[in-house]
């Protein structure tokens, strides 16, 4: 049977969501996938099999070190029936405090957490304030005043289907650079600014580079059309910096 599971995590203490390999061998770095597979195997499999992790998980998408999730989705196969309430309770007791799971359900064998996903919604949070405060944490703080109306006008150029080569990092392995963005909004709540971006797929560091370009436009008082020019250039050198991963959260995956 195939099971799907929702996953929440704080990414600060992990080297991204996915287990990493080098020369065919797993790199000994903490990852969200590694912790979840160990927890599931500890609960469902014999102790002699735990290190081999016979249960493999597939994630809806990769998130980098420091990126959080409120809506990551994974699937895994297991040949026995699982009681959802007991599974959720015990797996959460095993997992580190900064990772949790919920909503275990049986899905068709054709379901694939990554390939079946229709849209992914990310939110980037930043602080717009000159001075620091004790509970700012690792979230990016921008000292100069940001104009959310101008930021929204710049984001509007990204809506629809485009080649987002200008916003990808060099680590992008997928040759396809075309994405469809159906939502790109900026919202201000006090001294917090939230940037909401939803699309069918995202390139490596794409959201963080879009945010960096927004900040470049605001910081240098560039016309909002600069975002359109960057997009059409299909040249990473034209875009702004890739901002910190802290504050970026995968909010929801739709199927």
As annotated, the active-site residues are 64
Determine whether 34 is exposed, middle or buried from the number of CB atoms within 10 Å of its CB (0-12, 13-18, 19+).
Answer: buried
Facing residues of 149 across strands? none
Nearest to 36 by CA among 48, 24, 11, 53: 53
Number of helices (H), then strands (E), in the chain: 5, 12
The whole-angstrom separation of Cα 205 and Cα 191 is: 25
Vertex 73, ends 244 and 251: CA angle to 5°?
45
Which residues does 63 contact at the CB level (< 8 Å), separation at least 6? 11, 16, 17, 32, 69, 72, 248, 250
Facing residues of 22 across strands? 25
């Amino acid at each position: 049977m195939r099971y799907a599971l929702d996953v929440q995590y704080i990414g600060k203490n992990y080297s991204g969501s996915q287990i990493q390999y080098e020369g065919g061998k797993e790199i000994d770095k903490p990852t969200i996938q590694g912790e979840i597979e160990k927890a599931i195997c500890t609960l469902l499999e014999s102790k002699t099999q735990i290190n081999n992790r016979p249960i493999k998980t597939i994630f809806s998408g990769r998130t980098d070190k420091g990126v959080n999730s409120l809506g990551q989705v994974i699937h895994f196969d297991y040949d026995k029936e699982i009681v959802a309430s007991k599974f959720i309770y015990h797996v959460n007791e095993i997992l580190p405090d900064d990772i949790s799971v919920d909503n275990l359900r049986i899905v068709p064998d054709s379901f694939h957490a990554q390939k079946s996903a229709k849209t992914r919604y990310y939110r980037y949070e930043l602080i717009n304030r000159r001075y620091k405060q004790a509970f700012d944490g690792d979230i990016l703080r921008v000292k100069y005043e940001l104009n959310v109306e101008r930021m929204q006008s710049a984001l509007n150029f990204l809506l629809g289907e485009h080649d987002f080569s200008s916003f990808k990092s060099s680590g992008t392995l997928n040759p396809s650079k075309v994405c469809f963005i159906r939502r790109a909004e900026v919202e201000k709540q006090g001294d917090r600014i939230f940037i909401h971006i939803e699309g069918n797929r995202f390139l490596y560091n794409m959201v963080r580079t879009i945010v960096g370009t927004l900040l470049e436009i605001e910081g240098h008082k560039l016309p909002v059309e600069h975002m359109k020019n960057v997009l059409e250039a299909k040249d990473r050198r034209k875009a702004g910096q890739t901002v910190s991963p802290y504050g970026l959260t995968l909010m929801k995956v739709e199927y």
